[in-house]
Amino acid sequence: MTTRDKAYEWIDAHKDDMVDLWKQMVTIDSGIGVKEGGMEMGNLCAGILEKLGFSIRRVSYEKCGDTIIGERGDLSKPYTILMGHMDTVFFKGEPEKRPFTIKDGKAYGPGVLDMKGGVCILLSTLEALHAAGFDDFPCKVILVADEEPAHVFSNAPEVIEKESKGAKCAFNFETGFPDHALVVQRKGCWRFFIETFGRGCHVGNDPQNGRSAILEMAHKIIEIENLTDYSKQYNVNVGTIEGGTVANAAPAHCKVECDFRYVHPEDLPILRKKVEEVCAKQYVPDVTTKLYDSVGFAVMPQLPGNLELLKIAQEVAEESGFPVPGPKLCGGGSDAAYTEAAGVPTLCGTGVEGSRNHTVEEWADVDSLFRRAKQMAGILLKLNEK
């Protein structure tokens, strides 16, 4: 029996254990800003890694859980990075409202797809390889606790880039897709705020003295949304809006947060200039406008090495009778951008397959939990042969 067969056999024999770990993770409330849940997830993952012979380092923060860095083997040699995030996009209390459930082969619950299923695959793959007698390859695991809010609570991007120097490749266990594709490229994300400042008044007694910040913003929203150009592979969304006080007063203030997605790094200054031009226009007399950055993700470019990793994944799939993954350009950002900033070829979206992430309809295919763990075990073994 080959090492790969032994690893696959371990996964087949431990499906219930893998689902139990998945459920345990989804049950932990590690939503945005829930530090205690982030710490609990980090402690769970660190404990499993320690049992597999990893030494653990932590980077701690005031408002989120620790970044967990697990290391094993001789890292002076080119090593492999396995990475993911332990938080979910939801807020405190969501696991109680929507506990982990399985129905008709699909798992449901906050973060079941994005990306606690992926973290479960990461750890289970290492357990399977350990049981098969293959655990001496140089490896670094990086797990962060505030990816969903784009690391507003940490310096994780800098940590990831620094920790990636010297690696030969990286795998990010982000959300997988029902078409079985693997992500070789991701759009960047620029988030920004626009605020308008007008003048309030009583609209019954003194309407002509009012200067509506909302009316000014309404014109700008339409222009901002019209900057979407799918032929150039970028799109903008005005995602939140707030302003005004009561219906009978002209609104003196309005604020929106926007999200711009783009493929090429050189697009960002072009898009920024277009937004600045919109903000410089004045539709309502005396209303002023302020533009400033929020948070975002860098572009994950398609490095040549990404396609080489995809080819290995395709070989494993063909040999194992799995669906053969194709390449995917994904609109969502991920921390794969920061391993690539260190020049490390990265394959992303290697986690559990499903859809509707970031919504209450989020689901994940249960069988893909086991298949993707086998596929990753096969990939790591094949990389060791090269």
User: What averages of pLDDT result for each successive group of 10 residues across the chain (386 residues)?
Assistant: 96 98 98 96 98 98 97 95 98 96 98 98 98 93 96 96 97 97 95 97 93 98 96 94 96 97 93 97 97 90 96 98 96 93 97 96 98 98 86
What pLDDT, in 10s, does the model give residues 269-279?
999 999 999 99
Question: Shortest CA distance to 379 belongs to which of 323, 307, 321, 314?
Answer: 314
| Strand ranges across the sheet with 188-197 | 235-243, 253-262, 188-197, 288-297
Asked if 349 contacts 306 with a C-beta cutoff of 8 angstroms, the reply is no
Q: Amino acid letter at 339? A: T
The catalytic position among 40, 66, 71, 87 is 87
* Fold entry, domain 3-186+299-385: Aminopeptidase (3.40.630)
What CA–CA distance (Å, rounded) separates 261 from 360? 23
Helix (H, G, I), strand (E, B), or coil: what is residue 229? strand
- Strands 67-72 and 253-262, how do they pair? unpaired
Q: 156 Cβ partners below 8 Å, 6+ apart? A: 59, 67, 144, 145, 146, 147, 335, 338
C-alpha dihedral over 332, 334, 336, 341, to 10 degrees?
90
Asked if 121 contacts 353 with a C-beta cutoff of 8 angstroms, the reply is no
Asked if 4 contacts 381 with a C-beta cutoff of 8 angstroms, the reply is yes
Helix (H, G, I), strand (E, B), or coil: what is residue 147? coil
Asked if 90 contacts 110 with a C-beta cutoff of 8 angstroms, the reply is yes
Instruction: Say what the pLDDT of residue 82 is.
Output: 98
Instruction: Say what the pLDDT of residue 162 is.
Output: 97
Instruction: Say what the pLDDT of residue 136 is.
Output: 81
Return the exposure string of 177-201: e unless at least 16 CB atoms fall within 10 Å of the residue's CB, then b.
beebbbbbbbbbbbbbebbbbbbbb
Instruction: Tell me the two tokens of residue 386.
Output: 């090269």
Parse the chain into domains and list their residue ranges.
Answer: 3-186+299-385, 188-297
Question: Shortest CA distance to 117 belongs to which of 380, 365, 379?
Answer: 365
| Residues β-bridged to residue 262 | 188
- Name residue, tokens 């962060």: 144
- Name residue, tokens 């860098």: 298
Q: Is 149 exposed, middle or buried (0-12, 13-18, 19+ CB in 10 A)?
A: middle
- Name residue, tokens 């080119």: 78
The catalytic position among 147, 174, 340, 365 is 147
- Strands 79-85 and 167-172, how do they pair? parallel
Asked if 208 contacts 284 with a C-beta cutoff of 8 angstroms, the reply is no
What CA–CA distance (Å, rounded) separates 246 from 41? 43
Instruction: Say what the pLDDT of residue 386 is.
Output: 64
Instruction: Say what the pLDDT of residue 142 is.
Output: 98
**Preceding peptide of 115 cis, ω within 30°:** yes
Stated as kind and residue range, the H or E segment containing 241 is strand 235-243
87 is catalytic: yes
Q: What is the DSSP letter of 75?
A: T
Count of beta carbons in the 10 Å neighbourhood of residue 324 = 12
Instruction: Tell me the two tokens of residue 199.
Output: 């003048």
Instruction: Say what the pLDDT of residue 295 is.
Output: 82
CATH number belonging to domain 188-297: 3.30.70.360
Instruction: Say what the pLDDT of residue 38 is.
Output: 97
